[in-house]
Amino acid sequence: MTAELLLLPLGVAAGAVTQRVTGIGFALVSAPLLVLVAGPFDGIILANILSLVVSLLVFATTWRHVQWRRGLMLAVPALLAIPFGAFVARSVPGPLLLLMVGSLVLIALALVQLSPRARVLQGRRGAVAAGGASGFMNVTAGVGGPAIVLYAISTAWEHRRFVATFQFYSVIVNSASLLSKGAPHLPGQSLAISLAALALGLGGGELLSRRISAERARQGVMVLAMGGAAATVVKGLVTLAG
C-alpha cells in the first residue's frame, strides 16, 4: 500500500474524530487528504459523500434542537451558489483545482482562527453571504463549514442549536453538491475502506470526547488540516511545474 493510500483511512478517521469531539470539522480535516489520494474532483465528491453520512448520523440524535427556519435561511443561498461551484470544479484543470482546493482550505482555517474576534456576518445579509460562500466552497473544495462557523460566531449562536442546525444544513448542501457533480470514479474498495475508517473514527471520537477537551482536539485538527491543505497546494505546484 502506498503512502497516498494510507492517507485515505487516516483522513477519514481523523475527520470523523473531529466531528464527534467538536460537532463539526469532518470535511475540513479529511478533504485535503482525500484530494491527495483521489484527485481534486473525485476526492471532493468522496468528501461530500462521507460528510453526508456523518451529518445524517449526527442529525439523527440532535434533530430536536434544529432551528429549521435558520437552517433554510442559510441553505437557500448555498443551493443557489452550488451550480456555479460545480461548473468551476468541472472546468478548472486538475493541477489548478488542487491549488484552489488547498488555498480555499487554508483561507477557511484562517477564518476559523480569526472567528472568535470576528463579527462580520450578521442579519439576513450575513446569512446570505455565509450560505453562498459555504455552498461554493463545499462543492469546489469540500469545506462548507468555516463560513457557517464564522456566521455562528458573529451572531453568538448557541452551540447546541448551532451543531444540530448545521447537520440539517449539511445534509441539504452535501446532497445538492453530489447531485450537481455525480458519483466519483473510485474503486469499490476505496469506498469500503473509507466507510470502515469513518466508523472507527466515530467510535474513537466517542472515547476521546470523554477524555480530552474540545479546545485541545480543535488545536490538533487545525494542525492536521493545515498540513493536508499545504500538501495539496504543493502537489498542485509540482504537477504544474512537471
pLDDT of residue 103: 78
Q: What is the pLDDT of residues 213-229, one digit of tens each?
A: 656 655 665 665 676 66
Q: Which of 85-89, 116-120, 138-142 has the lowest mean pLDDT?
A: 116-120
Task: Parse the chain into domains and list their residue ranges.
Answer: 12-241
Distance set, CA 14 to CA 9, 43, 48, 79, 222 (Å) = 8, 16, 16, 28, 11
Highest mean pLDDT among 1-10, 70-79, 157-166, 183-192: 70-79
Q: Which long-range contacts (CB under 8 A, 24 or more apart) does 154-159 make?
A: 154/115, 154/118, 154/119, 154/120, 154/121, 154/122, 154/126, 155/121, 155/122, 155/126, 159/23
Residue 83 has pLDDT above 80, yes or no: yes
Q: How high does pLDDT run on average in the chain?
A: 79
Residue 2 has pLDDT above 60, yes or no: no
Angle between helices 94-114 and 40-62 (to 10 degrees): 40
Highest mean pLDDT among 96-100, 133-137, 190-194, 227-231: 133-137
Q: What is the pLDDT of residues 22-41, one digit of tens each?
A: 767 787 778 777 877 777 77
pTM for this prediction:
0.79
pLDDT of residue 68: 96
Structure letter (DSSP) for residue 156: T
pLDDT of residue 71: 95
pLDDT of residue 170: 92
Highest mean pLDDT among 3-17, 67-81, 138-152, 196-210: 67-81
Confidence of residue 85 (pLDDT cuts 50, 70, 90): confident
Q: What is the pLDDT of residues 49-77, one digit of tens each?
A: 888 988 898 888 889 999 999 999 999 99
